[in-house]
Amino acid sequence: MKQAKLFKLITNIFKKHGLSTKHSIICSKAILNAELVGAPSHGVSRIASYCNRIKNKVINAKPNIKIKKISSSVTHIDADNAVGFIGADLAINKAIQNAQRTGIGFVAVKNSGHYGLSGYYAEKAAKKGMVAFCFTNAPPAIAPYGAKKTLFGTNPICFAAPTGSKVPFVLDTSVSKINRGKIRRAEQLKKKIPFGVALDKFGKPTNDPKKALDGIQLPIAEYRGSGLAWMIDILSGVLTGGNHSGKVKDPFDDFSGPQNIGHMFIVFKSNLFVKNYNKRIKENIKRIKKLPKLKGVKKIYFPGENKSERFRKNFNKNINIPKNILTIVNNLNKS
């Protein structure tokens, strides 16, 4: 499907579900970006979940978002249970504005929802010469190290920095061996997942996405990954006023109330401490790229570079949406 047509379709769906034109466009841009960077697990396949939550009145289609200024650098946002894209878009823009004014922007969000790819927001800051950290928590998927019950989300860690070129450094990684969206998409497409990334509810390794969703996802680096998930739960949940310690509701299956996900955005100028940042970061990347390469490796990529290449390659192409997912989306547009 052509990008323009898909963008219009997504925007119309959100408008039909009660969102304003402005908020519908914010959601559409984030979803389309996920498809273009090669992350369909966070793209069109997610639209039905947002719409179902709006229909069940656990996402607020007409949020009364409140912005509290704590200082010139620090802002606290109550997203009033809006679609996650809306609170996150407002927050990263506010963090950038604060940083441009004072050198650093620190913005916390509560009462939000799933906001898509963290890198989408961090990249906005990096393209304006800023360094950014983005954190968000998620529904239970990972068991704390030593426990046999899930509690932490796959809680992504995201860091972005300008590189002195058009392509910023963007590290966006979940603390699970595979992100939950990929497992959801595998279930939708009736495909298997790799062994070694999840256990079923009995604690046995599985490659069945349904059993993985009902079971436990494995963290990266064992107890270290579990510790990182806990850290992000504190940053995104405890500190912001959002849900935490296993209280974030599953967006697909739990309609008993809003998710109340928390987000944390920290943005600061790259030249706060050194005035020749661009020269130094270029030197850093150049040294690493010049290292001897393993057999079969043609190029050493910095985080975000590969994704940027996929975006450029996909930008002038039609976007391939699996038939079963496209059917669901078209039906949402008719409802």
Q: Which residues of 228-245 are buried (b: 16+ CB within 10 A; e: fewer)?
A: bbbebbbbbbeebebbbe
Distance CA 98, CA 182 (A): 35
Whole-number pLDDT of residue 235: 98
SS3 for 115-140, per residue? CCCHHHHHHHHHCCCEEEEEEECCCC
Return the pLDDT at 107.
Answer: 98
Q: Give yes or no for residue 224 having a pLDDT over 90.
A: yes
Residue 185 has pLDDT above 80, yes or no: yes
Entry pTM: 0.96
| pLDDT value at 335 more than 90 | no
Domains and CATH numbers, the chain: 63-176+219-269 (3.30.1370.60)
Q: Is the pLDDT of residue 61 over 90?
A: yes
DSSP designation for 152: B
Q: How far apart are CA 199 and CA 218, in angstroms?
A: 7
- The mean pLDDT value for 238-247 works out to 98
Q: pLDDT-based confidence at 148, cuts 50/70/90?
A: confident
Report the pLDDT averaged over residues 208-223: 96
For 289-310, the pLDDT digits (tens) are: 999 999 999 999 999 999 999 9
Q: What is the mean pLDDT of the chain?
A: 97
